[in-house]
Amino acid sequence: MWRIAGGLFLGWSLGANHSANIFGTAVASGLVRFSRAVWLTAAYVVLGAVLEGTKCMATYSKLAALHADAAFALTVSTAVTMTGLTRAGVPASTSQALVGAIIGWSLLNASPDFGQLSRIVVCWLLTPVAAMVSSAVLHRGLERLVVERIRSFSARNRFFLVGVLLTGCYAAYGLGANSVANVTGVYVTAGLLRDDMGALLGGLSIATGILTYSRRVMLTVGKGIVPLDPFSAMVVVLAEAATLHLFTQLRVPVSSSQAVVGAVLGVGVAKDLKTINARTVLKIAFGWVLTPVGAGALALGAHAVMNALRL
């Protein structure tokens, strides 16, 4: 049972890093108080994990057969990769790291299911695209429907405040539903946990990360997005939430950070602004390659070492 600690640690770091994508802008600009933001995020992450978190877990079990030790090694190498990439400022994805690790691990003995893998990779590529399209559409649509009708100063002020809270909660729900599989999915695959238990424990570990260690990231990430106007900031979070929710229904864990980047780009399209440069795109593409490869290499190494020690 101690092996679950690896997953819980991964959940903790996921919560600490990814909660910034939800209320980061709102907190950095003083719209929502930090304490309120983290409690709301934590609560909705757990809710999302418990209600819909099991949907993505099956994907991991289809990818490769795993045993308990493997699950521990995988989560730890994922956590290490994530820490390194986050420090390098690459919008890295936990699910990409984990999938890379699973593939790397399975290279030594059982062959992974490459059909399942290609399905996952296609979803990764589609994540920023889907977020971009949905944020562009939402921006155009909501602007016509709501912002042009709510014109009075105080009413619009209220609309933004409530809107930011609601979309934030939805995004937290989506994050919980989509990414809890990253945290405990491999343990469920390994048979160490029942899937509903896995969802609950994973959700709680993400929530712990949010509650204990998200302040610094939230402030730095949030300040990076602030140049957006309040309406666009709200649309970005809503598009991110919708994207995460969509891929949860497709049962594939994807990257919330990359969804955010795509959504910001979509707002740029809708408003005819240049919100993103070639360097950012390059960085994402770089992350797509580096994240799975790095984690895969680590897992492969760990597998080799463990095999050597046993023998």
- Nearest CB to another protein, comparing residues 226 and 305: 226
Three-state DSSP at 17 gives helix
Question: How far apart are alpha carbons 113 and 223 in whole angstroms?
Answer: 41
Q: Is the dihedral of CA 42, 48, 50, 55 positive or negative?
A: negative
- 157 touches another protein (CB under 8 A): yes
- Nearest CB to another protein, comparing residues 198 and 266: 266
Q: Quick one: which of 12, 44, 72, 160 contacts another protein (CB under 8 A)?
A: 160
- Nearest CB to another protein, comparing residues 27 and 199: 27
Q: What angle do CA 169, 171, 172 make, to 5 degrees?
A: 65
Q: Quick one: which of 1, 2, 30, 311 contacts another protein (CB under 8 A)?
A: 30
- Nearest CB to another protein, comparing residues 29 and 116: 29
- 152 touches another protein (CB under 8 A): yes
Q: Quick one: which of 154, 274, 278, 310 contacts another protein (CB under 8 A)?
A: 154
Q: Quick one: which of 43, 51, 125, 147 contacts another protein (CB under 8 A)?
A: 147
- Nearest CB to another protein, comparing residues 12 and 159: 159
Question: How far apart are alpha carbons 243 and 250 in whole angstroms?
Answer: 11
Q: Quick one: which of 8, 10, 22, 31 contacts another protein (CB under 8 A)?
A: 31
Candidate segments 2-10, 28-36, 44-52, 236-244, binder of another protein by CB under 8 A:
28-36
Give percent helix, percent strand, percent coil of the chain, each to the nearest 5: 80, 0, 20
Q: Are 292 and 100 in contact (CB under 8 A)?
A: yes
Restricting to residues 216-235, name those near another protein by CB under 8 A: 229-231
In whole angstroms, how far apart are CA 230 and each of 30, 98, 233, 271?
12, 34, 5, 13
Q: Is the dihedral of CA 100, 105, 110, 111 positive or negative?
A: positive
The number of residues in the chain equals: 311
- 187 touches another protein (CB under 8 A): no
- Among the listed residues 217, 250, 266, the one whose alpha carbon sits nearest the alpha carbon of residue 23: 217
In whole angstroms, how far apart are CA 246 and each of 49, 136, 139?
15, 16, 18
User: Nearest distance from residue 31's CB to another protein, in Å?
Assistant: 6
- Nearest CB to another protein, comparing residues 155 and 289: 155
User: Nearest distance from residue 275's CB to another protein, in Å?
Assistant: 16
Q: Are 237 and 22 in contact (CB under 8 A)?
A: yes
- Nearest CB to another protein, comparing residues 158 and 194: 158
Q: Is the dihedral of CA 294, 300, 303, 307 positive or negative?
A: negative
- 272 touches another protein (CB under 8 A): no
Q: Are 262 and 191 in contact (CB under 8 A)?
A: no
User: Nearest distance from residue 292's CB to another protein, in Å?
Assistant: 39
Token output for 228: 């957006």
- Nearest CB to another protein, comparing residues 231 and 288: 231
- Nearest CB to another protein, comparing residues 2 and 153: 153
Restricting to residues 162-181, name those near another protein by CB under 8 A: 162
Q: Quick one: which of 1, 87, 153, 274 contacts another protein (CB under 8 A)?
A: 153
Q: Give the type of residue at 257.
A: S
Q: Quick one: which of 155, 273, 281, 285 contacts another protein (CB under 8 A)?
A: 155
Using CB under 8 A, list all residues that contact another protein: 29-31, 147, 150-158, 160-162, 229-231
